[in-house]
Structure formats: structure tokens, C-alpha cells
Amino acid sequence: MPPERLTEETILLTEKNNNYRQIFDELAIQHGASFHHTQEISSFAIILHFLQKKMGISFLPKYATLPILQEKNLALFTVAGFDIKMDLLIFYHRQKWVTPAMKYFTETAEEFFSPSAASNP
């Protein structure tokens, strides 16, 4: 989809201080796109609910949408020139005990966010 097509849509956006919103705003500026119909919403859950009700489109991280994508209640689309990659960094103190919960979290995050997982909706 060309970026100009987005101006015809209602865009459901996260709050301005959200990193996904900041990236979206930067890409819009780079492409000279201005949006006439936007809604700023603080909750991913509410945005996802509105998306399922066909109340607009949004720019969200894939991990937030995976359950609904797998149920085939939403569809992904690409916008020309809006190709981004984000890194996930997890820090912990090397000399401190790693709890079973921390170990499970890091293993799950590594599995979930691996390059092979990123290519599967």
C-alpha cells in the first residue's frame, strides 16, 4: 500500500510517548504524510478491539497482535517505505542468581523474538 492511501483511513494511534507511535510519526514526516482522521488511545487492548470492529487501522508491534492474527480476526498489510526493525534488549546482572521465572522469560523471549519467529504471523 502506498503511504498516501493512509490519509484516507482512520488511524488508531498509541500515545505520543510510546516508542511505536514515535516511529510512526517519524516515518509519516519522512514521507510527507498528514492524517486527517486519527484517534489516540492509551491501551493496546482497546486499539485491538476497535480494529476487530473495523473502526480503523493501526501501527502496532506484531507481538501485541499475534493472538488475533492467529485467529484470523485481523490482517497485516505493508506500507511502502514503512519497513522498520526494532531490537529487544533484556538486561540482568551476570553475578546475581537467575530465578526460574527469569530463565523462563528470557528463553521464551528469545524463542518468540528470534528471526524465524518474526517471519511467521
CA distances from 45 to 8, 25, 50, 110 (A): 24, 21, 9, 24
- β-bridge partners, 11: 38, 57
pLDDT for the residue numbered 115: 63
The whole-model pTM stands at 0.68
The model's pLDDT over 57-110, given as tens digits with 9 standing for 90+, comes to: 998 887 788 888 888 888 888 777 777 777 777 888 888 898 999 999 888 888
Is the model's pLDDT at 118 over the cut of 60?
no
HEC assignment per residue over the chain: CCHHHHHHCCEEECCCCCHHHHHHHHHHHHCCCCCCCEEECCCHHHHHHHHHCCCCEECCCHHHHHHHHHCCCCCCCCCCCCCCCCCCCCCCCCCCCCCHHHHHHHHHHHHHCCHHHHCCC
Mean pLDDT of 32-40: 84
